[in-house]
Structure 1
Amino acid sequence: MTTILVTGGTGTLGRLVVERLRAGGHEVRVLSRSARPYAVDLRKGGAGLDTAVAGVDTVVHCASSPRGGDEEAARHLIAAARRAGVRHLVYISIVGIDRVPLGYYRSKLAVERLVEESGLGWTVLRATQFHDLPAQLFQALAKPPVMLLPAGISDQPIEVAEVAERLAELAAGAPAGRVADMGGPEVRTLDSLARAYLKATGRRRPVVSLPLPGKAARAFRNGGHLTPERAVGKGTFEEYLAVRFGDGSGR
């Protein structure tokens, strides 16, 4: 079996990718800012990164931050991968980054281009948002007595474990370029998802939808972040909520 490095290997997605790759018999190295022995800040690079990549056949790049630094991190990783003779670089991206004008999305698109132009064998998978993202959004929005939502926006959340399974499969195979997107099983209005969240957590809040201005909000209303033709996910938002919150009491 191959030696595979997973960046962001302690995160929500990365740790599940690590589990599946190890279950498949691969030797897996976990890289993050705090995971020993490969504790590396990709934004800074350095000798620790070269050590982490040495002897690696495939890199699965899951590390990412909406706070910035993704492009710099990718440049350091790609340079180290070239020096080490890495055969395959797998990158997880987001559906709609070329259609929704958000700063974080622009950064993810720039990293895609760096991967494609890296000179390495590469694979890029785009997925819709994981279930925990709308759950985190609703947790914050449910704190006031009235839950205010952006009007006219839908979402297509997907189970993170399904994306991890696909990434592990891609990492074990040959470079495939841009592969088919992965979307959750349902395109749902934010209103319906929010009401499911409130029910699962045992909260009662009136839900009010308000229009948001701006190009990004318009792109979201137009469904730029959705892929209904690739609704390949199986796990629903309600199933995620049942696992996380149980009997609806919020515990």
Structure 2
Amino acid sequence: MLRILDARTGAPVPAAPARRGGLARIEVRAPGPDLTSLRVLLTADLLARALELNGAQAWPTLATTLPGELRAAADALAVRPFEEARGLAWGTGVPDAVLVVAEGEGAAWPGAGPVLVVAPVVWTGRTPGAGEAGPAPLSALLADPAALRLALLCVPREETARLDEAAVGAAAGRLAGWRGAVAGWARSPSRPVPEAVRARLAAAWEDDLDMLEVLDVLADVEADPEVPDGARFETFAYADRLLALDLARDLGTLA
């Protein structure tokens, strides 16, 4: 069962209805346009993907109209489109909707469902095109959207993410290495995801969306000589249903 830390109570609570296949509504408040709002959208996207992997039906909705720049950045980061919630009564038919908000929005949260709070993102590098430190427009940070997504996944949601060119560059290097490895493993006969690995992955995302542990599981699978290449491929493909890093992008590019 996927459990999240509810900011209302400080306690972990289920993120979906008890009935398997039940509808889990997610409401997102991300006014933006900035990196923090982008991280809020990314968190809601991860929650929806994790719920679906666990057999629930996720219904992500927006409580705010997204600025065009923020919507474009979310699309670039493979955040799936959310339904506009305007005109929808809060909790109609789904009284336990999860509200996903940025840290510092105050405690005047609508509804009675759990609240998932996302810490801010601070860009500490040079502003692209300006040559100086300071806030950067989202469009200037999207040269490699998947690397930015991975860089955000590498910081626990409850911690402020301080990003710069080095952090995004490191994520890009890690991503390139994994994509190359996945393309190589795809040339071997397919093997199922090892049950112990599948259980570790599920335990990680079910524990308040612990993305760091998900990434650690993948690193362990990559390094474990006992895991067949075909099983490595299937493991990374399975995890990418949650991570959305396009890990199989380079299939067929190896000589």
Q: TM-score, normalised by structure 1?
A: 0.31
Q: TM-score, normalised by structure 2?
A: 0.31
